[in-house]
Chain A
């Protein structure tokens, strides 16, 4: 409980920002859904056969898993708030459409007859009779949609739209229950508060309702407009994958760029998603820069050309840089010093007991192995597939989320796991990395990537970022990851400390 409270205090500015984003996405989606679904449903009450079809369509849309829907939208509209809002609107359509349709369709036919017999026009009948009668049903549809939207909007974080989902994703990644709880509780509270607000408004006078809705909309446009206006012309968006290491790196990028050019602002999108997602975001210009590893470029991003096995670190980087440039017109700046690579890790006690030093040593104890590994590692030819093939190994593997895997290792639920060589947990949990004597794991070096066009038009940014070339050793990185993951220091602070102590950033204090 105390941890939860402390985390809350630490994160409150971030939380407020996320809450605002969440609210923006949710309410925008809800308003759009209302504007689409209500008139459509009213129209459908006069076209029964079409109504059936529309109900079917909205029901089918509802059954698409939200993740799949978000994924499907990326190639069409890219990432960020737009696809998130589209997905949420699609989800909200059914309850609003259905309730509006049913609410009006189920009005006592004798009341409709009375309205007709008194000479009401269709519009007058709609406004004076039908909508007031159906309103409670319509509002309850809107409330259902709202609760659905606020909940589902947490998934928007997966495609870079931010919001409270960021806390949940980050919490899962860092195995920090407090963060997950803060994200989840806030989102649940938001749903309850908004739902209650609608309930209260439903009973209020029409004038109060109109004024409140108008104030909300104007306030929204005002704040968003202010935010838009407050943004100077040149804004560089830097994103990082999920995890502490990319987060530290992009904070360094930001510090370096801003130090050299006071006229630009840098927006950071931490924990922005997975590899292919970020790469697509870069190509679609949703983001400008993100740090990427050379081995990942060769393995996942470019088409395989020529020999890619048994390259050393420098060869890997050069091939990655050249392929990126020729295939995607993307610039890969100079790499940092540290090499991050996959590793197979075991507890020191386990290694000592069976005298394990290399990956090949696992052959002796194949039947005793109970491994837990990340899905990404298991599916890569330079990961588990390569290990099994090159070392002739065959053992049982459970797929696990990265931070859970470390916990499982520590508790002894599993005895073999995958790891990144710069992970702080190696130090923290006293793990041993088994030697890759057959060089299955490519040596990975990290460097910023950006489009050639961006690099060409921003030479000062390239110059700033290249200051990191050849800097940061393996142990530096492990140390910094340890500070963020275990000591819960902020990535921004850790990044600044390193830059200042290595003379890359002037100490303003």
Chain B
């Protein structure tokens, strides 16, 4: 018998009011260990408020929030925060500290040995593709936006916290850098097996990153499910429209990875031997061109076959998401 896991974070009947306004109505949500959970919604939906209640930057008006089964009320806020990484939209590197000092902030507070911290800093810089010898002693204002947010991310995970919160971390970055950093988050998540709660207003980003997605609107959690179910079985009109609107504006540029995530790529297919290979980073546009000549596409992820696409599946995707 599999013992049911204790959720890392659990909201129980949580309500938050700002003066007259009710920001969160009655939130019930459990986030499992090792999960990459994405909260998505428009501005004012309550997603950031929900996120900030986890590390108590915002305290709930009523209800309970549990961290590893313990009520936050019973945990010292400062030590709680040392166990929760935080990545901000504004990046907010400390401008008077070097890159290395920024990354060492939490290890220092945890009184980790200097030598060990220095090694962690170098390892993490290498992992995010920045040469430690070149970047260690730079000041934040000497970095590009993308480089800064890489530092922002490794600053949050330097002390290996069990939970990392991302508050719309890439919305201010240009699309290419955004894609790179999304891949970086997936990569780091895979290596570190930590729990991530990620807030975004970008449905594409949510679909790409999320193991599970929570769609929020006007302070209510409308649906919590896998990307596939969110897209194929939306709980209501709002969820469906929200996803459709994200598709409409960039249909041709949709990467095949999105079709995998949303369940339109088939695991097996009859005439698989004739399939032409396409990377999952390729767009629908190139899929159209390929399917004009061949019947089946084998979708590759890092040189491994992950599934198949034919004209029928593509048409299904287009018709369903455009409803």
Using CB atoms and an 8 Å cutoff, list the residues of chain A in contact with chain B.
108, 110-111, 113-121, 124, 128-129, 132-133, 135
Contact = CB atoms under 8 A, between A and B. Distances in A.
Interface string B103-123: 001100100000000000000
A119 B82 contact: yes
B90 A108 contact: yes
B237 interface: no
| B57, B91, B96, B97, most chain A CB atoms within 10 A | B96
Contacts of A111: 92, 94-95
Given A108-B90, A113-B57, A114-B86, A121 B96 contact: no
Contacts of A124: 109
A133 B92 CA distance: 12
Nearest to B102: A114
Contacts of A119: 77-82, 106, 109
A133 B88 CA distance: 19
Nearest to B94: A129
A127 to B, nearest CB: 11
A116 B109 contact: no
B55 A117 contact: yes
Contact of A132 (B81, B96, B109): B96
The 5 A-B residue pairs with the shortest CB-CB distance, nearest first, are A119-B81, A110-B90, A132-B96, A117-B86, A114-B92
Contacts of A132: 94, 96-97
Given A110-B88, A114-B92, A129-B94, A121 B57 contact: no
A109 B154 CA distance: 21
Contact of B96 (A116, A117, A118, A133): A133
B105 A118 contact: yes
B49 to A, nearest CB: 14
A136 B79 CA distance: 32
A113 B105 contact: no
Contacts of B80: 119
Contacts of B95: 111, 133
A116 B57 contact: yes
Interface string B62-79: 000000000000000111
Contacts of A133: 94-96
15 contacts: A110-B88, A114-B92, A114-B94, A117-B55, A117-B165, A118-B82, A118-B105, A118-B109, A119-B77, A119-B109, A121-B78, A129-B96, A132-B94, A133-B94, A133-B96
A204 B89 CA distance: 33
Nearest to A131: B96
Contacts of B91: 110
A124 B109 CA distance: 9
A455 B141 CA distance: 73
Nearest to B106: A118
A69 to B, nearest CB: 38
Given A118-B81, A118-B106, A119-B80, A113 B88 contact: yes
A288 B118 CA distance: 68
Contact of A117 (B81, B89, B109): B81
Nearest to A115: B94
A132 B57 CA distance: 23
A221 to B, nearest CB: 32
A115 B88 CA distance: 11
Nearest to A121: B78
A257 B147 CA distance: 80
A395 B197 CA distance: 92
Contacts of B165: 117
Contacts of B81: 116-119
Contacts of B97: 132
Contact of A108 (B55, B57, B92): B92
Nearest to A132: B96
Contacts of B86: 114, 117-118
Contacts of B57: 113, 116-117
Nearest to A112: B92
Given A113-B57, A114-B86, A120 B109 contact: yes
A117 B97 CA distance: 17
**Residue with the greatest number of chain A CB neighbours at <10 A, chosen from B57, B91, B95:** B95
B48 to A, nearest CB: 11
Contacts of B79: 119
Contacts of B90: 108, 110
Given A111-B94, A129-B96, 6 more contacts: A114-B88, A118-B86, A118-B105, A119-B109, A133-B96, A135-B96
Question: Which of B79, B80, B109 has the most chain A CB within a 10 Å cutoff?
Answer: B109
A284 to B, nearest CB: 50
Contacts of B84: 117
A114 B156 CA distance: 10
Interface in B150-193: 165
Contacts of A110: 88-92
Contacts of A116: 57, 81
Contacts of B109: 118-120, 124
Nearest to A134: B96
B66 to A, nearest CB: 19
A132 B78 CA distance: 22
Interface string B228-263: 000000000000000000000000000000000000
Nearest to B108: A128
Nearest to A114: B92
Contacts of A135: 96
A118 B77 CA distance: 10
B112 to A, nearest CB: 14
A320 B96 CA distance: 70
Among A115, A119, A121, A129, max chain B CB count under 10 A is at: A119
Contacts of A118: 81-82, 86, 105-106, 109
A10 B82 CA distance: 69
A114 B97 CA distance: 14
A133 to B, nearest CB: 6
Contacts of A121: 78
A279 to B, nearest CB: 56
In the complex, which of the residues A113, A114, A124 has the most CB atoms of chain B within 10 Å of its own CB atom? A114
